[in-house]
Structure 1
Amino acid sequence: MAHRLRFLNSKKTLFLLCDIQEKFRPVIPLFEGLLKNADKLTKAGKEFQIPLIVSEQYPEKLGNTVCELDIAHAEAVITKTQFSMLVPEMENKIKALYGERPCDVVLYGLESHVCIEQTAIDFLNNGINVYIVADCCTSRLNQDRDLALDRLRSAGCVITTSESIIFNLLRDKNNPKFNAIRKLVNPPSIDMQLAKSGSGGSKL
């Protein structure tokens, strides 16, 4: 059963950016769209002062996080070889930030059916609500992404989009962050071909 949908609290939320690295660029068909959407979400998280943790899968071979994403405000950039982001270094960083654990994590990056899925499983098993930002996730094959989103929804994740997360945090035009956020969301997000019909298609 899915977790109860609720408003996010910026002081109890963690953004997780997973493995958006240079070597994936030529093999991910929707990579440029992913970058634009992830850039918007990452900048919004910075405006809301939400901690960000970034992972890089085996960067010696796969390169670092792409230069288009400004992650200078990240609390940590963690290298890993296991597919889940929840490695000991991240666990220690989360304890330092929150005492024990956040209420919610907002997870985005790639690949959806590997590192995103396994990270979500680990956080769900630790009793933490997981928001998967579907328009900021992709795989080499759309069918792998779509089926992964279906599995993650069934497992209890909230499947959402970057603008939904941003407006969930904003909530009110009178929020002092409104003007900064308005500039971010004024250009529409890139359509990541999520509304698929037929077997295995994710319907958001």
Structure 2
Amino acid sequence: MQVQDRTNARRRHQCQIHTLPTSVPERIKTLLPISLTYSGSILLIALPKHLAGGKVLGVLLIATEQYPKGLGNTVTELDIQHAAAVVPKTKFSMVVPEVEKLLLSSQHGVDAVVLFGIETHVCVEQTAIDLLSRGVKVHVVADCCSSRSQEDRTLALQRLQQVGCFITTSESVLFKLLGDKEHPKFKEVANLVKTTSQPTGLTGKF
């Protein structure tokens, strides 16, 4: 899905910021509450809120689904109907030709993205590295990322910070996009964040 500077620069980034979720497939969803009780519940609170906030603010959404033939499509709890594209893929990185075309097009030219989804140490990490190599700033939404093991998730986020990503949270992203209480969408976004995300389990890790 970013995260920005002040007034004019903020408006400029709002046009250029792209939310890039790596999907939560139906078959994977059943694994998260079992092997990741803690992170699975985080995802099902933070992700819908984050997607709804981006939709309210008109942030362009590009989604990918990892091998939907075998893993299924994005879970129904996540509303991605407003996505500019939902791209099936087998490559772990989201940076496949269809996505790259959207990112590089004159209409959607981008210099920063907000990235989230699963798994942090596979699709999210490889996508972030590919984007950084193309000169794109990457903001990884920690409370909207998960892995089957907490160790993989934590170490991946640490690696991502080391290679130059900004590690952030959904609420931080949304308020930076707003920038001002007088933003016309402030009340809508404020209502969304009333649902407090659960602790990320990352305190003291960075």
Taking a change above 3 Å as real, the CA distance of residues 21 and 102 of structure 1, as seen in their structure-2 partners, is: same
SS in 1 for 2:117: strand
Q: In the alignment, residue 19 of structure 1 is paired with which amino acid?
A: S
Q: In the alignment, residue 21 of structure 1 is paired with which amino acid?
A: P
2:185 alignment partner in structure 1: 177
- Post-superposition offset of 1:110: 0.5
Q: Please give the alpha-carbon distance, in whole angstroms, between the structure 2 residues aligned to 1:122 and 1:70.
A: 26
2:121 alignment partner in structure 1: 113
1:166 alignment partner in structure 2: 174
Which residue, out of 26, 29, 37, partners 2:30?
26
Contact 1:5 1:158 in 2 (8 A): no
SS in 2 for 1:151: helix
2:20 alignment partner in structure 1: 16
Q: In the alignment, residue 12 of structure 1 is paired with which amino acid?
A: Q
2:46 alignment partner in structure 1: 37
SS in 2 for 1:146: helix
1:127 alignment partner in structure 2: 135
SS in 1 for 2:30: helix
Question: For structure 1, which segment, 24-33 or 157-166, has the greater mean C-alpha deviation from structure 2 after superposition?
Answer: 24-33
Aligned-pair identity in percent equals 44
Which runs of structure 2 are paired with 1:49-198 in the superposition (5 Å)? 49-96=58-105, 98=107, 101-195=109-203, 197=204
Q: In the alignment, residue 50 of structure 2 is paired with which amino acid?
A: L
Question: For structure 1, which segment, 66-75 or 89-98, has the greater mean C-alpha deviation from structure 2 after superposition?
Answer: 89-98
- Post-superposition offset of 1:95: 3.0
Q: Which runs of 5+ in 1 are unaligned?
A: none
Q: Please give the alpha-carbon distance, in whole angstroms, between the structure 1 residues aligned to 2:82 and 2:180.
A: 25
Contact 2:4 2:177 in 1 (8 A): no
Query: Any runs of at least 4 consecutive aligned residues in structure 1 with deviations exceeding 6 A, and if so which?
Result: none
Q: Please give the alpha-carbon distance, in whole angstroms, between the structure 1 residues aligned to 2:57 and 2:117.
A: 20
- Post-superposition offset of 1:32: 2.8
Q: Which runs of 5+ in 2 are unaligned?
A: none
Taking a change above 3 Å as real, the CA distance of residues 147 and 95 of structure 1, as seen in their structure-2 partners, is: same
- Post-superposition offset of 1:191: 1.9
> TM-score, length-normalised on structure 1?
0.90
